[in-house]
Amino acid sequence: MKQQRGKKLALDLSDPGAIDENTISTAAALLRSGRLHRYGEYGDTEPHAALLEQEFAEYVGSHYAVGINSGGCALFIALKIAGIKHGDKVLVNAFNLAPVPGAIEHAGGVSVLVEINADYLIDLEDLEKKAATSGAKLLLLTHMRGHIADMDAIVALCKRYGITLIEDCAHTMGAKWGDTFTGRFGAVGCFSTQTFKHINSGEGGLLISDDAQLAAQAILYTGSYMLYGQHRSKPSAAVFAKYQGVIPNFSMRMSNLVACLLRPQLREMPARAAVWNRNYRRLEARLNQIPSIAVPERLPQEAFVASSIQFAVAGMDAQQIEHFVTECTARGVAIKWFGRAQPLGYTSLYQHWEYLTPQALPQTTAVLQTTCDMRIPLSLTVDDCDTIAAIITETIESQFQPLRHEFHA
Ligand SMILES: *Cc1c(COP(=O)(O)O)cnc(C)c1O
């Protein structure tokens, strides 16, 4: 017998949130001008792309920022300017999303997958082991689902092994380790502005660096022709002269329309972070009251921006988790499960990237087997958080009675 069902969550957890009306007006004015390319004749006005780069560099405190057409291409360009050569190994956390191993492949690299621990962070022991034995001179570290590993330990480890660190901050825009924004710990930091990241332009990416040599190469790779002078956040002409003609144009520029959409959203980041984290703390407290659910503790130095929440479910087999996820989703609580055998939506597993050399990561596989993931849209209220927790609780409670019955039939 089905238990009395409580209410359904009214809100769609996949809601990306509207672009605000002021931004729409600014974008409409830009559309009317037709000046959608970031370079060229601007008369008295200035392209949004150059302004966004300057504003983003100021926001994170980096010397340079470069607009790129996507986060995946930002990672690709980061690997190129870090000096990757065909066949070079790249250490990368195994719990990741498809554009990351994709960027390594795109740049001619070979992914060496590193285990994660139960808190979804790169496993420092496995990283040390693979840094010592693989011969890799690059680490592409994804702050996956916004979880930030001990950056002091990682920076020290990279130094010890002569490894160049690239940070993938697709899930950590606005987040810090200690007092420093993510993306500022390595040679290059990469960000995505795809719809489901912290600021939304559909597609888009940003790359940051303090190194003039790297920034100049990145600008040239994106395809600045001879118009790199139109950047505001840029190294000196002498640095460009060194690379002009040597660095190919890969046509990975950020469009002016994209930058126009992002500038007001960037100013909103602190307010967004406060809403996300308020909801995260509420959900975390409620979910941790359910005996079979554990939300991992965050490291004290982690000033995260939680646009999603992850938790482990205990005491359920694959079929039961599948059932749990389906039931929650039917009530509007769209939970993704990383243990699914076949890829679905964003829940890709390293085993699904069949172009990689097969690698055994038993610890990561075991952790992901019980890992559930839920988006936290900005429109979520504290009441909605309580409704979500109630739905999850009811689903687990109602599920286990009939299932136990079946076992003893
Ligand atoms: C979204 C994402 C990227 C790449 O971003 P795109 O802009 O979609 O190319 C990279 N890494 C992670 C972890 C992501 O989630």
Is pLDDT at 12 greater than 70 in this prediction?
yes
Beta bridge partners of residue 112, listed in sequence order: 91
CA–CA distances in Å: residue 157 to residues 120, 259, 301:
19, 36, 18
Q: Is the pTM above the cut of 0.75?
A: yes
In the 8-state DSSP scheme, what is residue 135?
Answer: -
Residue 200, ligand 1, Cβ within 6 A: no
Residue 347, ligand 1, Cβ within 6 A: no
Residue 114, ligand 1, Cβ within 6 A: no
Least confident of 7-11, 94-98, 193-197, 301-305: 7-11
Is pLDDT at 214 greater than 70 in this prediction?
yes
Residue 101, ligand 1, Cβ within 6 A: no
Q: How far is the CA of 86 from the centre of ligand 1 (A)?
A: 22
Q: How far is the CA of 99 from the centre of ligand 1 (A)?
A: 6
Is pLDDT at 407 greater than 80 in this prediction?
no
Residue 233, ligand 1, Cβ within 6 A: no
The answer to whether 212 and 64 have CB atoms below 8 angstroms apart is: yes
- Please name the residues in contact with 305: beta carbons below 8 A apart, sequence gap of 6 or more: 146, 172, 173, 174, 175, 198, 269, 272, 273, 276, 277
